[in-house]
C-alpha cells in the first residue's frame, strides 16, 4: 500500500501533533455537487451507484478534486447490511429508503441471515479496494456503518419515521426480540467494518443517527451497549498502524462521558453541543470531531469564517480535534462555500 502523503486526519484521531486542524465533511460526496448529480444520473439509481465500484470511487474522489480535504469517506449507504439480510430495500421518490419486508415478530428476527461481507456485501469491499488504490496515498479512507440501533429502526419501521412507534413499541413490549436483533446487527456490523479495514479503510466510523431519540436508560441498554460490542470486536491495527474508530450519536451530547468509556478513539459532536464544554467533560480521553451547524453554509463567506473560528477557538489549544459539520451537508448549499470553510479551518487551525 502506498505511503500516506497527508496523514493529519489519522494523527489527530490518535491525539498526535498536527500542523493544522484536519477537516472532512459528512456527506461530502453528495447532491450539492453538480458533478455528483451527473454521475448519479449516469448510474441510474442510488443503489446502482453504490454497487458499481468505479462510479462509487468516482463520487468519493469528486470532493477531493474540488477541496483541500484531509480524508475521503467511502461512498455507500448505512442500509447495506439490512439490504443484504433480505429485507427488500428500495428508494421511493422523495420519501427516502423503504423496506418491502419490515421485521414484525421474534420469528422474523430469528430467521435473519448473517451476511458475508465478501459475498452479499462484496460490492462495498470492491469499492473500498478501488478507492484506496485510486487515492494512492493522497489522504486516508474512512469506512463506516450505521449503528445497530439505527439499523434496527429502519428495519422495524420499514423506512423513515417521525415517532419511532414500532421500534420503540418492540423495545418496550418485547425487549427479548429487540436484543436479539441488536445482537445480530452488532455482529454483522463488526464483520462488515473489519472487512472494510481488510480491504483498505484506514479509519472507521459508526453513525448512530437515531440514538438521540432514546431515554438515558434505554440509550445505554439498546444503543451504546451494542456500539461497545463493535468497538471491542474491531481490528485495531492494519498496514502497520492503528485504525481509529469514531462513534457519533446524533442528539447524544448528554452521554459523551459514557461514550468515551467504550474504548473508541473519537466522538462526533452535533451542533447542539458546545465543543469547549464537551472537551472539558471528556478531557484527553478521546478526540472530538465536529461540530459546525451545516446551515452556516447558507451564509456569507465572512460568517462562515467567523463560525469556523468559533469552533476552533472553542476546542482550544492542543491536538485531538477533527473539524466537521455537526451532521451531513445540505443539498442546496453553494459548493463554493465549502471552499471557504475548508480553507478557513486550515488557516485558523495552525497550532
Q: What does the pLDDT look like over 291-343, one tens digit per residue?
A: 999 999 999 999 999 999 999 999 999 999 999 999 999 999 999 999 999 99
Q: Would the pLDDT of 156 be above 70?
A: yes
Asked whether the predicted pLDDT for residue 95 surpasses 90, the reply is: no
Closest CA to 228 of 260, 200, 188: 260
Q: Which residues have CB under 8 Å from 88's CB, separation 6+?
A: 99, 100, 101
Cα distances from 254 to residues 139, 224, 272, 276, in angstroms, run 32, 13, 10, 14
The residues that are catalytic are 27, 31, 40, 77, 154
Parallel, antiparallel, or unpaired for β 72-73 and 266-268? unpaired
pLDDT reported for residue 2: 66
27-280 CATH: 3.20.20.210
SS3 347: helix
Nearest CA among 82, 197, 190, 187 for reference residue 142: 197
pLDDT in tens, 18-74: 999 999 999 999 999 999 999 999 999 999 999 999 999 999 999 999 999 999 999
Helices and strands counted in the chain (H then E):
16, 11
Residue 207 φ then ψ, to 5° = -95, 110
Q: Angle 222-188-256 (CA atoms, 0-180°, nearest 5)?
A: 40
Contact yes or no for 328/77 (Cβ under 8 A): no
For residue 93, name the pLDDT band (cuts at 50, 70, 90): confident
- Residue 351: the pLDDT is 65
Residue 82: partners with Cβ closer than 8 Å, 6 or more residues away? 89, 99, 151, 154, 155
**All cell numbers assigned to 202:** 484506514
Task: Please say if the pLDDT value at position 238 is more than 80.
Answer: yes
Distance CA 315, CA 276 (A): 5
User: Exposed (0-12), middle (13-18) or buried (19+): which is 105, by Cβ within 10 Å?
Assistant: exposed
C-alpha cell recorded at residue 337 = 462555500
Mean pLDDT, range 186-192, rounded to an integer = 98
Q: Does the structure show a pLDDT above 60 at 1? A: no
**Average pLDDT in the 158-181 region?**
97
- Residues marked as binding? 27-31, 77, 154, 209, 327
Query: In DSSP terms, which residues pair with 245 in a beta bridge?
Result: 204
CA distances to 96, 99, 350 from 161, rounded to whole Å, are 10, 12, 42
The rounded percent of the chain whose pLDDT value lies above 70 is 99
Please give the model's pTM, rounded to 2 decimal places.
0.97
Residue 179 makes CB contacts below 8 A (sequence gap 6+) with 222
With a cut of 90, say whether residue 3 has pLDDT above it: no
| Measured distance CA(313)–CA(275) in Å, rounded | 9
CB 135 within 8 A of CB 141: yes
Whether residue 83 has a cis bond before it, omega within 30° of 0 = no
Q: Which residue has the higher pLDDT, 2 or 69?
A: 69
Phi, psi of 152 (to 5 degrees): -60, -40
Lookup result for grid cell 468505479: 54
| Secondary structure (3-state) at 135 | helix
What pLDDT is recorded for position 128?
98
How far apart are the C-alpha atoms of 145 and 205, rounded to whole Å? 7
3-state class (DSSP) for residue 292: strand
Residues in the chain: 351
The DSSP call for residue 209 is T
Q: How many CA atoms lie within 13 A of 275 on its CB side?
A: 31
Share of the chain above pLDDT 90, in %: 96
Binding-site annotation: residue ranges for substrate: 27-31, 77, 154, 209, 327
Q: Tell me which of 64-68, 92-96, 222-226, 304-308 is least confident.
A: 92-96
Amino acid at each position: 500500500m502506498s505511503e500516506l502523503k497527508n496523514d493529519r486526519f489519522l494523527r489527530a484521531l490518535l491525539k498526535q501533533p498536527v500542523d493544522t486542524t484536519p477537516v472532512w465533511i459528512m456527506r461530502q460526496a453528495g447532491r450539492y455537487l453538480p458533478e455528483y448529480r451527473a454521475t448519479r444520473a449516469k448510474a441510474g439509481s442510488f443503489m446502482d451507484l453504490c454497487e458499481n465500484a468505479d462510479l462509487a470511487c468516482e463520487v468519493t474522489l469528486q470532493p477531493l478534486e474540488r477541496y483541500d480535504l484531509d480524508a475521503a469517506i467511502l461512498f455507500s449507504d448505512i442500509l447495506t447490511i439490512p439490504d443484504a439480510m433480505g429485507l427488500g430495500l428500495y428508494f421511493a421518490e422523495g420519501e427516502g429508503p423503504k423496506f418491502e419486508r419490515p421485521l414484525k415478530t421474534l420469528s422474523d428476527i430469528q430467521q435473519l441471515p448473517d451476511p458475508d461481507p465478501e459475498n452479499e456485501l462484496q460490492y462495498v469491499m470492491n469499492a473500498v479496494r478501488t478507492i484506496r488504490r485510486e487515492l494512492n496515498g493522497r489522504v486516508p479512507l474512512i469506512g463506516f456503518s450505521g449503528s445497530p440501533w439505527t439499523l434496527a429502526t429502519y428495519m422495524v419501521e420499514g423506512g423513515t419515521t417521525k415517532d419511532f412507534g414500532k421500534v420503540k413499541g418492540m423495545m418496550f413490549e418485547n425487549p427479548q426480540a429487540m436484543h436479539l436483533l441488536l445482537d445480530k446487527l452488532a455482529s454483522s456490523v463488526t464483520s462488515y467494518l473489519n472487512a472494510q479495514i481488510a480491504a483498505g479503510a484506514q479509519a472507521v466510523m459508526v453513525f448512530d443517527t437515531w440514538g438521540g431519540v432514546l431515554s438515558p436508560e434505554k440509550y445505554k441498554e439498546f444503543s451504546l451497549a451494542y456500539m461497545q460490542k463493535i468497538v471491542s470486536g474491531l481490528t485495531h491495527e492494519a498496514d502497520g498502524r492503528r485504525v481509529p474508530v469514531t462513534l457519533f450519536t446524533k442528539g447524544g451530547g448528554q452521554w459523551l462521558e459514557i461514550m468515551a468509556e467504550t474504548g473508541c478513539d473519537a466522538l462526533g459532536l452535533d451542533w447542539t453541543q458546545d465543543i469547549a464544554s464537551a472537551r472539558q467533560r471528556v478531557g484527553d480521553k478521546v478526540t472530538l470531531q465536529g461540530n459546525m451547524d451545516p446551515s452556516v453554509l447558507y451564509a456569507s463567506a465572512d460568517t462562515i469564517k467567523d463560525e469556523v473560528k468559533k469552533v476552533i477557538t472553542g476546542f482550544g489549544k492542543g491536538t485531538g480535534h477533527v473539524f466537521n459539520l455537526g451532521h451531513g451537508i445540505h443539498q442546496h448549499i453553494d459548493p463554493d462555500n465549502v471552499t471557504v470553510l475548508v480553507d478557513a479551518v486550515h488557516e485558523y487551525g495552525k497550532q
